[in-house]
Structure 1
């Protein structure tokens, strides 16, 4: 017997809020990634780690909010805590790998393709490992072609978002990159959910695992608190909210003002102090 699946139990509320969260995490993470291209080597890993965690936390939170609207009429849906939280770790690790590839390559075409592909696959692993944590009186089945399409959406959108972020040509480019990274997460999620069918077992036993309400607090408080910290870091670093034009001018300042700029396309400038 096939279950009646509804991915929009709360209408447009869950997809809109989920997309906003994915865009917020993407905005913070991508700005940290472009900032990493400007600083000295010793500071670069810190910015890239912050960016990876921001993108991963935003997309993981997006997934959870979107899943709040997922129901199967004939059976309650529960979640396995271990697999649910494992999806966060696995996703952040793969997203971080892609971000580090871009951050240490100088944003070359080959690196953007590789980093974007790995980042998109990280988003996909976060989603499908999280789906593996669902516990209900039935079995999840997927349409293979739709699953492949969902992964393609994530890879293409993540690659384009990273390319747009590396351009760093101003505020609108940054907004565009954030919207694309949000699309990578939500596009994969809802395309992947369109591939889901539930084959019911027909038993009367309750499924194991925690309910959505029981996981709500720990799933939201941690990632949201981290994103708040990331917002504070961004707000206290003016170069993170400026475009390439300002970064280029910053590269012309003495090293005491900007720590050894290494932004792609900006040659190092050595200025001899003038005597007064």
Structure 2
């Protein structure tokens, strides 16, 4: 590896509006996924699988992947940047897949500390893989050099954040608790991403890159944000309506049981 003093590194800065937007998406996606996993409780079979898949898309695709690419676009350089469509799609598959695996494993043994740790490690490593696959999707005339300490720190943050997110998902009830947890999860997700970004230094290599054949960052970012927000809002509306319906059904069942007890009592003169 070349010494940093020998490199002509590329200047970069952040668009703080997009950084704030990435945090908002992370929090909203986390809140939606917590509600979906709340709806999953007490279900079995195909219904349970449907809840898991929905939660995996909300957390992995919405909170994590969408936040990641908005954060990537917030990283501004004086060099044209495009994105490989194939690697970008692969990073989405990784994010949704590992989150789904983590939720599925913990749903089988919710009270097992060992399963929580295993699911957290698998999910955390997957989230880190998603991040660095997304980084590799960047097409520009520069090489990426990583700081080993910050690189390792980003992976540790990803594992801790994933483990905490899975625990919260299966141990919270109230909406205010879930909102507070969503903020914490948003901080953790952004912390992993921006630590990973801090770990990289862009070194111009002078190569000729055809940016025209890739996806423009702003176009990609707007599409991802709008599509993800639409799915998250629809998922949240459906989930809350299902939870409300379930609450009414349980209330009606309790009333029916009380009526049966009253009828079954003998009449005393």
Cα deviations across residues 139-180 of structure 1 (Å, max 9, x unaligned)? 111112211101111211221222223222423321232123
C-alpha distance in structure 2 between counterparts of 1:46 and 1:133, whole Å = 30
Q: 1:194 to 1:53 in 2, by over 3 A?
A: same
Q: Which of 108, 121, 130 is the aligned partner of 1:117? A: 121
**Compared CA separation, residues 176 and 112, structure 1 to 2 (3 A):** farther
Q: Deviations over 1:165-197 (max 9, x none)?
A: 322242332123212322332111100000001
- 1:194-241 CA-to-partner distances (Å, cap 9, x unmatched) read 00011211245544522213323443343222212212112313359x
Structure 1 partner of 2:234? 229
CA distance in 2, matches of 1:30, 1:101: 16
* Distance (whole Å) between structure 2 residues aligned to residue 177 and residue 113 of structure 1: 19
Separation (CA, whole Å) in 1 of partners of 2:252 and 2:51 = 21
Cα root mean square deviation, aligned: 3.0
- SS in structure 2 at match of 1:197: strand
Counterpart pick for 2:95 among 80, 83, 91: 91
Work out the CA distance in 2 between the residues paired with 1:202 and 1:40.
Answer: 57
Counterpart for residue 8 of structure 2: 2
Bigger radius of gyration: 2
TM-score if structure 1 supplies the norm length? 0.81
Give the TM-score of the pair, scaled to structure 2.
Answer: 0.83
Answering whether residue 74 of structure 2 is matched by residue 69 of structure 1, we say: yes
Q: Does 1:106 align with 2:96?
A: no
Separation of aligned partners in 1, 2:9 and 2:85:
24
CA distance 1:213–1:14, shift in 2 (3 Å)? closer
Q: How many residue pairs get matched? A: 255
Match of 2:225 among 192, 214, 220: 220
Q: Which moved more, 1:224-233 or 1:165-174?
A: 165-174
In structure 2, the gaps of 5 or more residues are 1-6, 264-269
Going from structure 1 to structure 2, the CA distance change for 1:64 and 1:254 (only over 3 Å counts) comes to same
Q: Kindly tell me: are residues 5 and 236 of structure 1, through their superposed partners in 2, closer, same or farther at Cα, counting changes over 3 Å?
A: farther
Q: 1:201 aligns with which of 198, 205, 208?
A: 205
- Alpha-carbon distance in structure 2 between the residues aligned to 1:47 and 1:170: 19
Higher helix residue share: 2
- 1:25 aligned residue (13, 26, 29): 29
2:161 to 142, 157, 161: 157
